[in-house]
Structure formats: C-alpha cells, structure tokens
Homo-oligomer: A and B are copies of this chain.
Amino acid sequence: MGKLMKDKLIEHLQDAHALETNMIVMLQNNIAACADDGIRHVYEWHLDETRRHEKLLRERLEELDSAPSLRKEGPAIGGAFVKGLVDGVRSDKHGKMARDSYIAEQTEIAAYELLKRVARHAGDEKTMDLAENIRLEEVNMVVHLSEHLDRFVELSLEEQGLEVATLV
C-alpha cells in the first residue's frame, strides 16, 4: 500500500474512531435520561458494542503504526447537528433522543460504507472485514431504534402533557 493510500485509510479509520468515541458519551447520556426500560436496555446493549468498536478501531490504527486523532474527538454527534432545527421545542427530550440516535447511527453506517471501500482499494482485507462487521452491528441498532419509534413518540408527547391516543 502506497503512503498516500495508507494516509487516506488512516483518515477514515480515525473518523470512524472519533464517531465511536462520541457515541459512547451520547449513549451514556441517553441511558441516564431515558424513561423507558426497554429502550434503555437497547442503549445499554449498544454501549457494550460501541466500546468494543472503539477498541477494535484503536487497535487497527496501532497495527498501522498510527493512533486515534485527538483533534477529531469533538462534541457529541447528533446533538449539535439537529440543535438548530429543534431549538423551538421547549422540552422534547425523547423526541430529540430518537432523532439524534437514529442520525448518529446512520452517520456511522455512512462512515463504515466509505471505510470499507477505501480499505478495498488499499487491499487491506482486515480493515474491510472490520468495517463490515461493525457496520452490521450499527444496522442492527437502527432496526432496534426503529422498533421503538412508537414508544419514543409516546414519551415525547407525554412529557409535554399531551394525551396519547391508543395506536391502531
């Protein structure tokens, strides 16, 4: 693998690592704030997975004689992004949580789709497999979040004092 290609691969690995690091913080916040046991369990399960992802990416970076980028470990994902669009909502903790969680997972999926392809061009099968295995766990998390969307919306309405109709 040429130096330019290796640099490119490492950039993508560092991006993915930064996303996982931010995700750990986001999941811890959601676990603390969530009012539903079933959803909290989903978050706890995924926190274990996310810690493993962070470790796997850090180890792969070290094997490539690199390291996580400190610079890239910025603010929690999701929150800052959507903030401007939901600032008008006085209190919609669970609505924001659902939206931010979903977007954060999809952001990771996009990162792994790109990482997988860059690794393929670099001929790095180990990183290809790593990216694909992690991507599948992120896709699985999206499925779990989607399954709980009705409950998220009920919580969102309840916390604003709205009556929740029985859904058909």
Give residues in A with beta carbon < 8 Å to B.
Answer: 2, 4-5, 8, 11, 14-15, 18-19, 69, 71-72, 74-75, 77, 80-82, 84-89, 95, 98-99, 102-103, 106-107, 109-111, 113-114, 117-118, 120-121, 123, 146, 149-150, 152-153, 156-157, 160-165, 167
Q: Given A5-B162, A99-B110, A162-B5, A118 and B74 touching (CB < 8 A)?
A: no
Residue in B11, B120, B123, B150 whose beta carbon sits within 8 Å of that of A89 in the complex: B11
A85 touches B153 (CB 8 A): no
Q: Which 9 A-B pairs have the closest CB atoms?
A: A81-B81, A106-B106, A117-B153, A74-B84, A102-B110, A99-B110, A121-B165, A15-B85, A103-B107
B149 touches A117 (CB 8 A): yes
Copies of this chain present in the complex amount to 2
**C-alpha spacing A99/B110, complex, angstroms:** 6
Q: CB-CB < 8 A to A5: which residues of B?
A: 157, 162-163
